Structure 1
Amino acid sequence: MTRLDVPSPAPAQATDGLAQDTALLSDALNSVLEEQAGRMFASRLQWLFKTAAAVRAGDEGAAERLVAYLRGVPDESVEPIIRACSLELQLANIAEERERARRRRQYDQTGATQRESLAETAQILRDRNIDIGPLMGKLQIEHVLTAHPTEATRRSVLDHQWDVAGLLDKLDDPRTGHARRRHLLSELREDLTLWWQTDELRRVRPKVEDEVRRNLFFFEAVLFDAIPAVLDEIEHELGVNLVQPVLTYGSWTGGDMDGHPEVGADTLASALALHRSTALTLLRTRVDKLAQSFSHSSLRVPVSQELEDSLAQDAQELPTAPVLRRPHREWEPLRTKLGFVHHRLGNTLTPRGREPGYADAQALAIDLRLVLAHVNSRHVASGSIRRLLWQVEVFGFHLAGIDIRQGANVVREATGATLPGFADADEPGRMALLTEALESGRRGITHDPGGEAGELLRVLDTVALSAEAFGPQSVPAFVISMTERPSDVLAAHWLAQRARATSLRMVPLFETRQALEEAPATMASLYAVEPYLTHLRTQANRQTVMVGYSDSGKDTGYVASTWALYNAQEQLAAQAKELDLQLELFHGRGGSPSRGGGRTYRAILAQPEGTVEGRIRITEQGETIAARYADEELAQRSLEQTVSAVLLASALPNPPIKVEWREEMARLSLVSRQKYRGLVYDDPEFIRFFNQIAPIAELSQLNIGSRPPSRKGSSAVESLRAIPWVFAWMQNRVLLTSWYGAGESLASGDLEMQREMFRDWPFFTGLIGTLEMALFKTDLGVAERYLSLVDDDIAERFWSDLKAEHEAVVERVLAITNQQRLLEQTPALQARLEHRNPWIDPLSHLQVELLRRLRAGRDEARGPLLATITGIAAGMRNTG
């Protein structure tokens, strides 16, 4: 039995709650549209929905009527249609999220074990007589929130989404009576009206600080309280006592300089301050709430000499603390102590004269543990104060560590400007120079090279200062993008040591196929450098290596990228084990299938043997953050799935991988890569085809992310960032990056062997499953409408090839999975995705028409066009 074969009970009985919620929201929106845009408009919108559904059903006449109507819509009338369709799609998302929460509650109410839950994981491990204790001792899962260059949802819109979701949840309460329901529906229509009257598009491009604040909102609204709930569930279901937090969070916002001219020392310092103030504010709020409830009388709880001494010291050091003016403070020692804690946190947040605050989060934890030791009840000890201590341990005063990231080319430039001889040396020479400089402590020359290199040096100085001011956990890692050679990492390490940012650990990011293939050799060279090994010893012998799904997929196609990632991880893990090093793999996953998207649970279980070992780091981006952390229940569900998968991947062996399977994957990788690169990189006319069939140029004008869509300002595929590259192919419904090359490679192989691989090899199961999802979301029928935007001399040549490759891959995936239709074995998911299409399709047809108008010089089409981009993104969800 493999990791992916773990037994699970059948899911709970499906309800019609999703359909009811969808209808309720649509009815409420229709009422709003009748008031705001007129009854005729609302009626026309319903006609659009029904006509698009008829087109889906194969009605050619409906297709002609739909296209003719949309082409005739005047510019001033287009925008309301787009916004209404977009709003319907976002409401469908909310209804689906509420259905997920509802199903989780149903499992909890009935006592049934939900798939991919901690309860199921505990049972699997017990059935195999696996000792959970050692597993928990090394468990460490970190999610790293990043800014998403194509995240299309404004914060104001997110606020309205959460308001609507909250009302939907209240309407679902069986205790709600008729009067209360009428009031809630009135609130719903009010919220939808406010949402309708809100700009979906940003008027200006967001700043880096806006993106920092957006991610911090998820901590404030959901994660700060969701994490303790998950830790409590881990203890309960697995029967363990956690001695360390197994979940932590990181961030890239404010520190990700790679190709981003607006990120530097100032944005890092600002982000660190925002993180700290948010963490301290959240902790103060929780401490204040705890003080209100901790009304223990000194007559009923023991008061130790230690507590008395602590209170006396607080009174002496904190003479302005409001708690000193409470008349009952002497008889309520725990409430009084918490009052002093609250005041010290205030001093930490905003220093007041000579009164002290807390030096660090550990000092706060000591005070809270003193309170915990006096509660005189196991019920109280395992309640709110325990959850508060978990929050202190997980989030500290930094909330989430901010990684810094910069490209290896900038690292080389900065090193060349400060270490004489480096710029002109070959690779062995550079390694020798760096090794000698690290051993001798040589800091090179003081020189500001200016530009990105100079800013990197200033950032490293800021990191050193932040370690002193906020602790080393505030900026834990330096991610070196596009790492190609050992000196890239060693140079970054020397620059950090030069700045005295000694706690900063180096994280090479291998992104292209060649870099992934050479990664084991690159790391072997680093491990042979004694100063670097000394650095790893200060990091508890831990080496973090990041593997990039985005650029490897853009470089070589989905199949070849997936195999290169698998091989690199497998070899890196074996290498680290031989050297007695702890390898922590950092997965740079995005939302779309070609960027590592899909179900995290199955993706983790499909990892190569020995690559997880209790530790994993995963990026979360843009709409993925919003989808997983829409509310506390969904966040808990997402986190328990990740914890469960990491535990099972660490404990359960995968079956032996047959030699012929590896040979088949090597062949698939080669054929698919040649097919993909032959189209994308080798055909000189492809870039013209891409720029015409996809809204990539228009995408750069949309104020949806602070980062430019291209690394170098060039239109070439090589310089285009992977995320907008994928986003553009999602917009026109081709999703080329997620399947092109797979058809020819799979079809030319042994079908029976591929079926065996699908059945018995979790890696191949996951590969085909992700491919199937991408194919289901691909719609060449809609995409063909975009072909009218392409020059006649290239349109048919490229389109014929795309259609043939798509037909080949669909046919082969169905044959491998023994299905008649894609997603046939997951009908609920199939129905949910199909339900969106009648609202997405009009947006796609309108986008084609608006692209035609804008490219013909009608600038008034620009605003509505950009609105279609955000609307389609909302419907497709995993966009980039």
Structure 2
Amino acid sequence: MSTQPKLIRFKQNVMSKYQIYNSIFMTLPFDTITKTGALLPLFHETCQKGFKAGDDPTTIVETFFKKYQARRSKQSQINLLFRFIQYIERQVVLFDAIEDAAFPIVNNMDGIGTLRSLKESAISENKLEELQRYLEEFKVRIVLTAHPTQFYPGSVLGIITDLTEAIKRNDLLVINDLLAQLGKTPFFKHKKPTPYDEAVSLIWYLEHVFYYSFGSIYNYIQQNIFDGRHIDNDIINIGFWPGGDRDGNPFVTPEITLKVARRLRETIFKNYYRDIRKLKRKLTFKGIGERMTKLEIQLYKAFTSLEKSELTLTHFKSELEAIKSMVINEHQSLYLDEINSLLNKIQLFGFHFATLDIRQDSRAHASVFNAMVDTLIASGNAIFPKNYQELSEKEQVKVLSKIKGSIDLSLFEDDTVVKTLKTIEAIKTIQQTNGERAANRYIISNNQTTLHVMQLFAMLKLVAFENELTVDIGPLFETITDLENAPKVMEELYTNPDYAKHLKKRGNKQTIMLGFSDGTKDGGYLMANWAIFKAKERLTAVSRKYDVTVIFFDGRGGPPARGGGKTHQFYASLGPTIEDKEVQLTIQGQTISSNFGTSDSSQYNLEQLISSGILNHLNETNTAMAKHHTEVMNDLASLSYEAYSNFKKHPMFVPYLERMSTLKYYAKTNIGSRPSKRGKSDKLIFEDLRAIPFVGSWSQLKQNVPGFFGVGTALQYYEDKGEFKKVKDLYNNSNFFKTLIGNSMMSLSKSFFDLTKYMADNEEFGEFWTIIFKEYETSKRLLLKLTNSKELMEEEPAGKASIDMREAIVLPLLTIQQYALKKIQELEKAEVRDEEQIAIFEKIVTRSLFGNINASRNSA
């Protein structure tokens, strides 16, 4: 392993290679427009010089055409801009592949935060037994979601994989062909993917990456930490949302849910089949070969035959165990490691591969539930008292706790009611075919009350789980108000005898999900993170009081503005007042491909997550936050919340997003199956906005508001009072605060206000733009002061270099996007609307979104 600094390794293995391969790429003859590859560097240079000189995007584009392309027709100029967009989004793919290929060289695969490092520090501190004990109950679950924060069709993902491998081998001939293939492969999706399409594209990662990285991590733990002993705990597992996440997605039907579960089952059988075939070539011993052949045939049937497979998980495991003991007793333990490795994978993935979560909004549940009750009462069914709807909330909870009986789904005609109840039926079916772990959790988003939980509790029992409820209910608290009310809701549930009985049967474990994305959208960056931290402390206390182990499931996005950023540092910083027996978090969009897209990055980042959760436990120096630090943190969060709330109430807030950003174009990108906003109203309402387009639009403007707004104002308050040393003291003593600040600095380092400086002179939006810019300047100045830094991300030079490189690649793309947005505004103000021209520039904006979205992948 090279001992050179990380930045030098990055420059040699990423930046230098990019320059070489990009120069090959730029000379490939792709299209009818000649010299696109030769013109793009000139346009890039024009952008850099133009912004330095204070020019706006329109001037930069017009200067370029005047200087280099004066004889082109207007139509030809537009065509060239489209070609530039196509080239740049492919340059992003090339950079992705080079960064993936260099991952194990740039990152120290045995360094701090890896399992080897964890094991060595446990041995040196005489804590190996403690580590073993902890690993017997500690779990990490990453939950893959189809939230649309990345645009790569499956064909392009395949090219990235092949390109990564070719770059690792420095195979120039293959690289050349793949770059040519990339140039000719379309990126644009003409129609939205279905939820099933999204599931299939994520199952690709399960089949080709996670199956292997999870297996090798588990093998390492078993062999090196447990000396080869069997571990009863799976330690790492995968959750899966595509096909089960119904929240705001009318296209997720019960049929889709069943289809996705079937696909997951078929895929894990396929992986086992490949492993069994490899093993069979090695286990050619008497009495074993025949048994292996039988397993091979059974597995093949399991994913090719339409009939239900006869192979059970118990039989599969016991056959392999029998083969294992024959190998040990009769064949000198030949190939024992390979048999153990397969047994470990069976323990991790069962016949389900990933646990399918079901999720729906509490408001949708409430209306379905009430419609269901009304139908049952009208039909003379005595399950609910006739006066149920007149009862108080408390009395309704009492009725729902004691609910008994089952209902006939043919009674219901309302489509939404039928779909919701059939989804519950689908959970039962999946458990019967793929095992209980295949689908055993139902998440209620926007959960506000105890009644919301009990409505689902009753529906589950009435539809499919009358005798035994083998499903965990996970309330999701999102807004700042809901986070404050969460402990009260949970205490009501814990003290409800019937709910407590259900929890006992489920091992006295309660999953609670907390939404970082919507929390940030609602309360701003500091307040969202602090509100979640405090909610976790209070939820831990109330759960411990009733002897319940709370499992926190964090709804995190890719960028810091959606709870992402340096995730493992965040978990390592939580301290003893927050339950940490399990780490669960959503992984979405570009975070899946950037952090877990290859075996190397997947293994490294999973190990970091495992270590961070365990270090928080083993590390006795990580104490609870001192009272005076909590006061400062409270203060900073309140001050930033006030600043962000006032900013959000500004009359220009929604109009600015609607007319000056790319917000309304997200719906046209066809990158996700889900509608881009919640409500049905034509008018844009802040509450209806989804966190992804909201955060994404600020990111496309290069203003990254949700990642820093309010931070500067809060810090300035302490500076003005002459008490800045209090904040410094907090920063030096709290890893939690340090992680928040580091992530905010990442958001700031991805901001580029020169791009939109022209808006300062806009009659309507000039004042609003200036408010954002001032907050950016204040935040940047004070964060540098707080961290004693000369520049942002000074302590992460390799991460900064990667961001700088990506930002440089997409600079022309952003310029074109702003130029097109400005043109649309001018055309819309004209006396006679030229619809054809407006449509062309709108297409430019939409097309330019993709490269920018994909280039942000190291936001995680």
Q: Which of residues 219, 222, 225 in structure 2 aligns to 1:232? A: 219
3-state SS of 2:553 partner: strand
| Deviation by residue 1:399-426 (Cα, 9 ceiling, x = unmatched) | 1111100000122122222334554443
Per-residue deviation at 1:284?
1.3
The amino acid across from 2:222 in the alignment is E
Q: Which of residues 86, 89, 97 in structure 2 aligns to 1:83? A: 86
Residue 121 (structure 1) aligns with: 118
Instruction: Go from structure 1 to structure 2 and tell me whether the alpha carbon gap of 1:445 and 1:863 turns closer, same or farther (over 3 Å shift).
Output: closer
Q: How many residues align?
A: 809
Unaligned runs of 5+ in 1: 1-8, 172-183, 299-332
| Deviation by residue 1:714-766 (Cα, 9 ceiling, x = unmatched) | 42111111111111111111111111111111211231111111111111111
Does the 8 Å contact 1:733/1:778 carry over to 2? yes
The amino acid across from 2:739 in the alignment is G
| Pairing 1:783–2:783 present | no
Does the 8 Å contact 1:485/1:522 carry over to 2? yes
Residue 743 (structure 1) aligns with: 712
The amino acid across from 2:476 in the alignment is L
| Deviation by residue 1:497-516 (Cα, 9 ceiling, x = unmatched) | 11124211100000010111
Aligned runs of 1:186-265 on 2, under 5 Å? 186-240=173-227, 241=229, 242-265=231-254
Residue 666 (structure 1) aligns with: 634
Residue 70 (structure 2) aligns with: none
Moved more, 229-238 or 725-734: 229-238
Residue 3 (structure 1) aligns with: none
Q: Which of residues 776, 780, 804 in structure 2 aligns to 1:810? A: 780
Q: Which of residues 300, 306, 311 in structure 2 aligns to 1:358? A: 311
Does the 8 Å contact 2:576/2:624 carry over to 1? no
* Partners of 2:438 and 2:657 in 1: CA distance: 42
Q: Which of residues 408, 417, 423 in structure 2 aligns to 1:453? A: 417
Instruction: Go from structure 1 to structure 2 and tell me whether the alpha carbon gap of 1:608 and 1:523 turns closer, same or farther (over 3 Å shift).
Output: farther
Does the 8 Å contact 1:730/1:879 carry over to 2? no
| Deviation by residue 1:435-478 (Cα, 9 ceiling, x = unmatched) | 232xx457699742624333211111111222223222111100
Does the 8 Å contact 2:372/2:417 carry over to 1? no
* Partners of 2:53 and 2:559 in 1: CA distance: 31
Per-residue deviation at 1:874?
1.9
Moved over 6 A (4+): 61-65
Instruction: Go from structure 1 to structure 2 and tell me whether the alpha carbon gap of 1:29 and 1:786 turns closer, same or farther (over 3 Å shift).
Output: farther
* Partners of 2:563 and 2:692 in 1: CA distance: 12
Does the 8 Å contact 2:190/2:670 carry over to 1? yes
The amino acid across from 2:395 in the alignment is G
Unaligned runs of 5+ in 2: 67-73, 374-383, 828-834
Residue 429 (structure 1) aligns with: 395
Residue 877 (structure 1) aligns with: 857
Residue 402 (structure 1) aligns with: 356
RMSD value, Cα: 2.4
Q: Which of residues 522, 525, 530 in structure 2 aligns to 1:563? A: 530
Per-residue deviation at 1:624?
0.6
Per-residue deviation at 1:345?
2.0
Per-residue deviation at 1:617?
1.2
* Partners of 2:226 and 2:48 in 1: CA distance: 51
3-state SS of 1:705 partner: coil
Per-residue deviation at 1:627?
0.9
3-state SS of 1:811 partner: helix
Residue 30 (structure 1) aligns with: 26
Moved more, 805-814 or 778-787: 778-787
Per-residue deviation at 1:539?
1.1
| Deviation by residue 1:771-830 (Cα, 9 ceiling, x = unmatched) | 111111111112335668xxx443111012111111111111111101111112222222
Residue 765 (structure 2) aligns with: 795
Instruction: Go from structure 1 to structure 2 and tell me whether the alpha carbon gap of 1:91 and 1:390 turns closer, same or farther (over 3 Å shift).
Output: same
* Partners of 2:476 and 2:623 in 1: CA distance: 29
* Partners of 1:631 and 1:352 in 2: CA distance: 32
Residue 770 (structure 1) aligns with: 743
| Deviation by residue 1:53-92 (Cα, 9 ceiling, x = unmatched) | 4456x34579897332467772222111111122222222
Moved more, 773-782 or 646-655: 646-655
Does the 8 Å contact 1:417/1:449 carry over to 2? no
3-state SS of 1:619 partner: strand
Residue 135 (structure 2) aligns with: 136
Aligned runs of 1:790-869 on 2, under 5 Å? 792-855=762-825, 856=827, 857=835, 858=837, 859-869=839-849
Does the 8 Å contact 2:237/2:348 carry over to 1? yes
* Partners of 2:481 and 2:124 in 1: CA distance: 43
Percent identity over paired residues: 22
* TM-score relative to the length of structure 2: 0.90
* Partners of 1:573 and 1:378 in 2: CA distance: 50
Residue 66 (structure 1) aligns with: 60
Instruction: Go from structure 1 to structure 2 and tell me whether the alpha carbon gap of 1:527 and 1:336 turns closer, same or farther (over 3 Å shift).
Output: same
* Partners of 1:584 and 1:848 in 2: CA distance: 44
Does the 8 Å contact 2:564/2:859 carry over to 1? no
Instruction: Go from structure 1 to structure 2 and tell me whether the alpha carbon gap of 1:35 and 1:693 turns closer, same or farther (over 3 Å shift).
Output: closer
Residue 757 (structure 1) aligns with: 730
* Partners of 2:216 and 2:445 in 1: CA distance: 35
Per-residue deviation at 1:35?
5.5
3-state SS of 2:464 partner: coil
Residue 639 (structure 1) aligns with: 606
* Partners of 2:592 and 2:62 in 1: CA distance: 38
Does the 8 Å contact 1:785/1:845 carry over to 2? no
Per-residue deviation at 1:335?
1.7
| Pairing 1:49–2:44 present | yes
Moved more, 555-564 or 387-396: 387-396
Instruction: Go from structure 1 to structure 2 and tell me whether the alpha carbon gap of 1:758 and 1:55 turns closer, same or farther (over 3 Å shift).
Output: farther
The amino acid across from 1:103 in the alignment is V
* Partners of 2:394 and 2:543 in 1: CA distance: 23
* Partners of 1:206 and 1:428 in 2: CA distance: 43
Q: Which of residues 347, 357, 370 in structure 2 aligns to 1:416? A: 370
* Partners of 1:748 and 1:557 in 2: CA distance: 17
Q: Which of residues 564, 576, 582 in structure 1 aligns to 2:543? A: 576
Does the 8 Å contact 1:28/1:188 carry over to 2? no
Residue 707 (structure 1) aligns with: 674
* Partners of 1:254 and 1:824 in 2: CA distance: 42
Instruction: Go from structure 1 to structure 2 and tell me whether the alpha carbon gap of 1:575 and 1:21 turns closer, same or farther (over 3 Å shift).
Output: same
Residue 6 (structure 1) aligns with: none
Does the 8 Å contact 2:565/2:859 carry over to 1? no
Q: Which of residues 460, 475, 479 in structure 2 aligns to 1:496? A: 460
* Partners of 2:216 and 2:482 in 1: CA distance: 40
Instruction: Go from structure 1 to structure 2 and tell me whether the alpha carbon gap of 1:382 and 1:65 turns closer, same or farther (over 3 Å shift).
Output: farther
* Partners of 1:76 and 1:810 in 2: CA distance: 39
Moved more, 442-451 or 761-770: 442-451
Instruction: Go from structure 1 to structure 2 and tell me whether the alpha carbon gap of 1:356 and 1:279 turns closer, same or farther (over 3 Å shift).
Output: closer
Residue 553 (structure 1) aligns with: 520
Moved more, 748-757 or 809-818: 748-757
| Pairing 1:97–2:96 present | no
Does the 8 Å contact 2:566/2:739 carry over to 1? no
Moved more, 115-124 or 583-592: 115-124
| Pairing 1:340–2:319 present | no
* Partners of 1:840 and 1:13 in 2: CA distance: 22
| Pairing 1:369–2:306 present | no
* Partners of 1:415 and 1:808 in 2: CA distance: 49
Does the 8 Å contact 1:416/1:422 carry over to 2? no
Residue 467 (structure 1) aligns with: 431
Instruction: Go from structure 1 to structure 2 and tell me whether the alpha carbon gap of 1:358 and 1:204 turns closer, same or farther (over 3 Å shift).
Output: same
* Partners of 2:685 and 2:390 in 1: CA distance: 29
Moved more, 550-559 or 152-161: 152-161
Moved more, 64-73 or 501-510: 64-73
Moved more, 425-434 or 199-208: 425-434
* Partners of 2:115 and 2:814 in 1: CA distance: 41
Does the 8 Å contact 2:520/2:528 carry over to 1? yes
Does the 8 Å contact 2:273/2:299 carry over to 1? yes
* Partners of 2:327 and 2:477 in 1: CA distance: 51
* Partners of 2:39 and 2:115 in 1: CA distance: 48
* Partners of 2:770 and 2:541 in 1: CA distance: 44
Per-residue deviation at 1:272?
1.0
